[in-house]
Structures are given as structure tokens and as C-alpha cells.
Amino acid sequence: MRRDSYLFTSESVSEGHPDKVCDRISDAIVDTFLSHDANSRCAVETLATTNRIILAGETRGPASVTGDLLEEVARRAVREIGYEQDGFHWNTAAFENHLHEQSADIAQGVDAGEDKDEGAGDQGIMFGFACDETPDLMPAPIYYAHNILQSLAEARHSGAEPELQPDAKSQITLEYRAGEPVRATSVVVSTQHSEAASSEQVRELVRPHVTNVLPDGWMCPEEEFYVNPTGRFVIGGPDGDAGLTGRKIIVDTYGGAAPHGGGAFSGKDPSKVDRSAAYAGRYLAKNVVAAGLARRCTIQLSYAIGIAKPLSVYIDTHGTGEVDTDKLAGVLRELMDLSPRGIRTHLKLNRPIYARTAAYGHFGRHPDGDGGFSWEKLDLVDDLKNAYNIK
């Protein structure tokens, strides 16, 4: 039985968090390969530590993507985040590139042939989720946690808050009554800052970025508002803590409010169903909720490496469904080909649109004019309503 009254917490991390620096570099490299050849293959991992950036993984793409170009791409990503510190600087950090060619054994399973369609890049399970708690159909705790950090990042990049540095984290606990979020019971924000800023200055600098994001009357009690609880956060980013690609997968998705599959997204081209099928799941779940067929929707997809068709499609509307859920899986499969090729074609994923996904969540974003965040579109709503004769 679902609980109606409870506390739930989600966290977010900024683009300058060590792991997110690595996600950004890995995704910028994916974009580089796709911009040179839309059929490139990438599985790129990044390690960042004190003034050092290391790439590893497998790729298959054109010779025009050289080692020098990849180094330039990695340094540009760090510069755009804003790292020009003694312990981590876009221009002076040591750089190592250990990328190599994609395994021929993997390639033969993924590539289309005369007697087979393009197969999934790996086995695995992927989840999509949507709910009606926020305008973007995302769970409220992760939605507000992201927005707090985005507000701080905008102030830092604009120069409005020069004391702010790139590394930051947020965490918000919301109270739910009758299954609906009603207020924050605690808010935690840790943000890297300049040497000159005092703890109280940072606290008051952060405050409006919280109160302006939360709905009126939702701010937590003053004693539950924690800003830099350790008292000081000058050393940060990869200088303070090593970063790796793919370590913030709950931040990337639903903040723990929904299940997560076995794989991360960043650094992977869209032939990898870890990424593309998770986007498809979100796309379908969001359209289901937007069409009024349910208030909450979880979709699970599963795949086997080298096999085109999904092995299973599971849907759970958590007791909020307004239609026959058993029929829904069939309706969704009619509206969208859920093979790896079908997903990439439907959502137009073979484009350099991934660096922008590396921070502040892959979901709950607004579709861009160039095709970024295409999985957030609501273009199946009318078809879903028509399938159930809903006006």
C-alpha cells in the first residue's frame, strides 16, 4: 500500500562537481564524434583529479577526430564550466588520452547486416518515469534541487555573484501529505566560494536562490536551512575530490523517486540503449501523464546485446491510471518503434546534442530548437487520447 504522508529527499550537483566535469567532457566528445559522423560509436570515460584529465574507452569514427581535437574539446568543456584555479585549470591541467577502437565483437552485434537489424549496444534494463507534481512532469524534490543550482550557476556565469565558484551541491527534503508535496522541511546547499567570502556572506548569498525557486510558503524553518555545513568550501572540484563519468545517475534521472536501470548515460552514443532507451521510456511516460491517462507512470524496457526488439515492455501507473493499462503497452509500441534504430530515428538522436545534458538532469528540460531534449516533447498526446477515444 502506498504511503500518503511522508518525507522524501533528492539531491542535485552542479556542472562544476567533479563527476559532472567528467560527464561534460565525455558528452562533449560524443558530440564531437557525432558532428563529424552521425554513425560514430562512443563509450568514453573521463577521470579528473588535481590538475589532470584522463580519457579512456572505445570509439569508432572518422580520422578527422584526432587526439589533438579531443584534447581541445576537453579543455574547452572545463573552461566553459569555469575552472581557472591553481588545483584545476582548463589550460594547465595535464591531459592523457587512452581511447582506442571499439571491439569488433561488440560492433558485429550492434551493426545492421543483410539478415539482421541494428542490435542493442548492450543488455540491460532501462526506466522512464513521469508524474504530475511539477509543470515539467518531474518529481518535485529533484525538480527544485536542480533549479536551485541552476539559479546559482546563472548568477556565477553572469558575474552577478563573483564569490561563487563552480562546485556545488543541493539537497531538499519535501513533506508529502495525501501524496502531494506541500513544503520543504530542510534544504542543504554546499557551494564552493572565494577565499574572501565568510560563511555568513555565503549563506545570505545562497538564500534568495532557494526562496525564489521554492513555491510561496514552502521554505523550510531557519534551523533546517544548511549552507556549507562544514563552514568552509574553498578547495573544490577535481582538486578536492576526484571525478568519474557516470557516478551521478540518480541526479541524472528522477532523484530516487523512480527506479533506475543498470547503466549511466554520459559518454555513450545513442546506439547504447542505456542512454537511448531511457530517453524513450521518459518520452513515453511523459506523454502518458500529459495525456491524462495517469498521474504517475513508470515504464521499464529490457534489451539483449545484438537483438533489435525489446525483450519486455512493463508499465505501472501506480494506481493512478484512468485507462486499461494492459492495453497501454500495445498502444505505445504501435506509436513508437522501440528497437535501437527506431528510437534513434523517432527522437533524432544521432546529433551532437549531449554536452548540454551533462548537468541539471537529462529529464524535465525544455526541447531545444536544434533537437536537444527531443524526448521531452509531448507530440504523442493526441494519438494517446485518440487510442482511448478521449476528447
| Residues classed as catalytic | 17, 19-20, 45, 58, 169, 233, 241-242, 247-248, 268, 272, 274
DSSP class of residue 15?
T
Cell numbers linked to 79: 573552461
Torsion of CA 211, 168, 372, 75, to 10 degrees: 150
Using alpha carbons only, what angle is made at residue 290 by residues 284 and 295, rounded to the nearest 5 degrees? 95
- The single-letter code of the amino acid at 174 is L
Q: Is 102 annotated as a binding residue?
A: yes
Cell numbers linked to 222: 531557519
Q: Is 71 annotated as a binding residue?
A: no
CB count within 10 Å of CB 313 equals: 17
Q: Where are the alpha helices (H) located in the chain, listed in sequence order?
A: 18-36, 67-81, 104-110, 140-158, 199-211, 237-240, 249-252, 273-290, 325-335, 340-347, 381-387
Q: Is 17 annotated as a binding residue?
A: yes
Q: Is 19 annotated as a binding residue?
A: yes
Q: Are 372 and 356 in contact (CB under 8 A)?
A: yes
Q: Answer left, alpha or beta for residue 361, where phi above 0 means left and psi between -120 and 50 means alpha.
A: left
Q: Is 168 annotated as a binding residue?
A: yes
CB count within 10 Å of CB 92 equals: 11
93 closest CA partner among 25, 28, 157: 25
Q: Is 264 annotated as a binding residue?
A: yes
Q: Is 241 annotated as a binding residue?
A: yes
Rounded to a whole number, what is the largest CA-CA distance in the chain? 67
Cell numbers linked to 126: 532501462
Q: Is 232 annotated as a binding residue?
A: yes
- H/E stretch holding 52: strand 52-60
Q: Is 79 annotated as a binding residue?
A: no
Q: Are 74 and 86 in contact (CB under 8 A)?
A: no
Q: Is 268 annotated as a binding residue?
A: yes
- Binding residues for L-methionine, as ranges, are 58, 102, 241, 272
- Binding residues for Mg(2+), as ranges, are 19
- Binding residues for K(+), as ranges, are 45
- Binding residues for ATP, as ranges, are 17, 167-169, 232-233, 241, 247-248, 264, 268
- Binding residues, as ranges, are 17, 19, 45, 58, 102, 167-169, 232-233, 241, 247-248, 264, 268, 272
